[in-house]
């Protein structure tokens, strides 16, 4: 059987090997169009936290972040929480509440935390706050833990 490549044309390297670059749109340092979000983990509070400030590239309404960008940031924060448990999980679904406009060019914080775990199902929450601590947007997401080697076996280059 010939080796397959993902639809976007890049080879996914074997999970046990370090990938040469990180092109994740949300956190990848090697994606020139990406947000380059840098998370840190607080083991005590079991949270994933990122302080960030985004510019015009991510505009939705004038002076504010696009709703899809907000959803991406929240999804990334909830996904990072799984790393605290050393779990690889994919987003099954998520719900976003847009409470207040999220401004461009201002210091913001996104915090993700675990809410519930039942078997392979992980329910996480996240919120974006401004410097005053006001919640501007929040989300709840359901993630399904996967066996990465089985899931991506047909795409893996060993």
Report the C-alpha gap between 144 and 92 in whole angstroms.
6
Residue 43 has a pLDDT of 81
Per-domain residue ranges for the chain? Answer: 39-157
CATH topology classification for 39-157: Thiol Ester Dehydrase; Chain A (3.10.129)
Residue 157 has a pLDDT of 60
Q: Extract the tokens encoding 124.
A: 């996480």
Report the C-alpha gap between 111 and 23 in whole angstroms.
22
Nearest of 150, 14, 144, 13 to residue 82 by alpha carbon: 144
Of all helices (H) and strands (E), which one includes residue 37? none
Over its C-alpha atoms, the chain yields an Rg (Å, rounded) of 17
Residue 91 has a pLDDT of 96
Query: Which residues on adjacent β-strands are paired with residue 142?
Result: 93, 123
How buried is 8 (Cβ within 10 angstroms: 0-12 exposed, 13-18 middle, 19+ buried)? exposed
Tell me how crowded residue 30 is: count the other CB atoms within 10 A of its CB.
12
From first to last of its 158 residues, the chain has per-residue pLDDT tens of 334 333 333 445 555 555 557 778 777 788 888 788 999 998 888 899 999 999 999 999 999 999 999 999 999 999 999 988 889 999 999 999 999 999 999 999 999 999 999 999 999 999 999 999 999 999 999 999 998 888 777 765 65
């Amino acid at each position: 059987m010939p080796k397959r490549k993902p639809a976007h044309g890049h080879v996914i390297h074997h999970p046990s090997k370090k990938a040469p670059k990180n092109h994740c749109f949300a956190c990848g340092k090697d994606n020139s169009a990406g947000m380059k979000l840098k998370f840190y983990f607080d083991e005590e509070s079991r949270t994933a936290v990122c302080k960030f400030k985004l510019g015009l590239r991510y505009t939705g309404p004038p002076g504010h972040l696009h709703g899809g960008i907000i959803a991406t940031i929240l999804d990334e924060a909830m996904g990072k929480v799984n790393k605290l448990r050393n779990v690889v999980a994919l987003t099954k679904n998520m719900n976003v509440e847009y409470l207040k406009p999220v401004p461009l060019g201002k210091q913001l914080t996104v915090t993700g935390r675990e809410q519930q775990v039942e078997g392979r199902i992980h329910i996480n929450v996240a919120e974006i706050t401004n410097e005053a601590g006001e919640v501007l947007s929040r989300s709840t997401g359901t993630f399904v833990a996967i066996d990465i080697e089985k899931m991506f076996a047909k795409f893996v280059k060993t």
